Amino acid sequence: MRVFLLKDVPGLGKRGDIKNVSDGYGRNFLLRKKLADILNPSTEKRLKLEHEKQEKIVAELKESSGILKKKIENLNLVFEIKMGESGRAYGSVTPLKILNELKKQGINLGKEQISAKPIKTLGNAKIKIKLHPDIEANLNITIKSNDSDIAK
């Protein structure tokens, strides 16, 4: 019996997969629990069209992520944080601050895409940004001291 899976089935396949299963397993388990449906020519044609459409969307996302990667890697963001006389930082550069600065540059990302902890040290840093499961961009940031707050 040929079926297509409506949900992920451990040990058998993922949603949308077409599988050959025994008649008993198909009727008594997969169909009864609504995990799969019988594959007929019309549903097979519909599934192929949906699969092609999904592949096209994934390809477009990957292409736009590649363009965004080039744009991000050409940026160098500069942040200023307050430093005490002993060299201790009173502030930090957080992923939220990085997101806000990227928004000013016209790049809208989600907080979960930036894999960085708050940075409290001066100098240059590279931040990894996950744009697509296959594409990561490295953002260059420079952290400087805000000298206007240090006393004479």
In terms of phi and psi (left: phi > 0; alpha: psi -120 to 50; beta: otherwise), the region of 151 is beta
The secondary element (H helix, E strand) that includes residue 51 is helix 41-73
> 37, 18 in Cβ contact below 8 A?
no
Task: Let me know how long the chain is.
Answer: 152
Fold of 2-64: Ribosomal Protein L9; domain 1 (3.40.5)
- DSSP, collapsed to helix, strand or coil, labels residue 7 as coil
- The yes-or-no answer to whether 2-64 and 68-149 have a common fold is no
Q: What is the pLDDT of residue 152?
A: 40
Q: Which amino acid is at 24?
A: G
CATH superfamily label, 68-149: Ribosomal protein L9, C-terminal domain (3.10.430.100)
Parse the chain into domains and list their residue ranges. Answer: 2-64, 68-149
DSSP annotation string for 114-134: B----B-SSEEEEEEEEEETT
Rounded CA separation 147/48 (Å): 62
Q: What is the pLDDT of residue 148?
A: 57
Per-residue pLDDT of the chain in tens (152 residues, 90 and over written 9):
999 899 999 999 998 888 999 999 999 999 999 999 998 888 888 888 988 998 999 899 999 999 999 999 999 999 988 887 777 778 888 999 999 999 998 888 888 888 888 888 888 999 999 988 888 999 999 988 876 544 44
For residue 61, what are its two tokens? 């996302």
